[in-house]
Amino acid sequence: MKGMFIKDLCIIKLQVRFFILIVILAVMLAANGSGASFFLSYVMFVFSIFTITTISYDEMDNGMMYLFTLPVTRKQYVLEKYLFGIFMIGLSAVISLLLMPAGLMIQKVALNMAELLLMTAMTTGIVLAFLAMAFPVQFKFGSEKGRIMMFILFAVIVLVMVGAEKILGMYGIELEAGLKQLENVGAGVAAAIPVFAGLLLYGISIFVSVRILEKKEY
C-alpha cells in the first residue's frame, strides 16, 4: 500500500505545474472579490477531484490487471485511495489557510481567524462527503462512465447547496449570520461537527467501495 501511495505522489509531481496554476488562479479570483469561501471551495474541490483522477490513470491500458498482480489486495487499493484523498484534502486546506490571509489583505478585509477556521472545517466536511459519494461511483462505472456520473454528482451537489442557500434566504436566514451563531457555540465544537459528519460518510463509503471492487472483474 505504501508503494501505491508513492505512485500517486509521483503522479502529483508530474502535475505540479497544473496545481500551481490552480492556486495562482484562485488567489487572483479571491483578490478580485470572489471571497474566501470561493477560494476554499475551488482549491479543495480541484485537489480532491485529482484523487479520483488517479484511478483513471490506473485504469489506462488495462493497468488494473497489472496492479492486481502485485502484492496488493483490492481492499488495500481502496484504502490507499481513501488515505490519499485525506492527504489531498489536508494539503489543499493547509495551502488555503496559508494563502487566504494574503488574499484578504489585498482586499483590505479584516482577518477573523475563528471564522476562517470554521469555513475551512465546513468546506472539509463537504469535500469529504463529495469524495465519499464519488469513490464508489468511480469504482462501479470506471473512468469513462464514471466521468459522466461524476459530472452529474457534482452538479447535484452544487444545485443542493445553491437551493439550500436560497431556501434559507427565503426564511431570512443568512449563511454569514449562521456562521456567527456557530462561532458563539465555540469555534472548536462548531468546526468539529462538519468534519465528523464528513468522516462518518467517508468511513461508510470505504466499505461500499471495497465490496464494489472485490466483485468487479478486470
Determine the Cα–Cα distance for residues 47 and 206; give it in Å rounded to an integer: 19
Amino acid present at 25: L
Residue 150, C-alpha cell as written in the block: 461524476
What is the pLDDT at residue 42? 78
> Nearest CA to 54 among 10, 17, 1?
10
Quick check: pTM over 0.85?
A: no
Q: For position 83, what pLDDT does the model report?
A: 95
Interior/surface letters 99-128, b for 16+ CB within 10 angstroms, e for the rest: bbeebbeeeeeeeeebbbbbbbbbbbbbbb
Predicted local distance difference test score (pLDDT) of residue 84? 95
Show the cell assigned to 131. 469524495
Cα 169 from Cα 178, distance rounded (Å): 11
pLDDT value of residue 202:
94
- Tens of each residue's pLDDT in the chain, 218 residues: 788 898 888 888 888 787 788 777 776 766 665 566 677 777 888 888 888 888 888 888 777 888 888 888 899 999 999 999 999 999 888 887 777 766 666 666 666 666 777 778 888 888 998 899 889 988 888 766 666 777 777 677 777 767 766 776 676 655 555 555 555 555 566 667 788 889 999 999 999 999 999 888 76
How much is the pLDDT for 140? 86
pLDDT at position 142: 77
**Residue 91: partners with Cβ closer than 8 Å, 6 or more residues away:** 47
Grid cell listed for 178: 449562521
Return the half-sphere exposure (C-beta side, CA atoms, 13 A cut-off) of residue 158: 10
Q: What does residue 55 show for φ and ψ, rounded to 5 degrees?
A: -65, -40
Give the sign of the dihedral formed by CA 192, CA 178, CA 120, CA 43.
positive
Q: Which amino acid is at 166?
A: K
48, HSE (Cβ side, Cα atoms, 13 Å): 26
Distance separating alpha carbons of residues 214 and 109, to the nearest angstrom:
51
DSSP state of 189: H
What pLDDT was estimated at residue 151?
A: 73
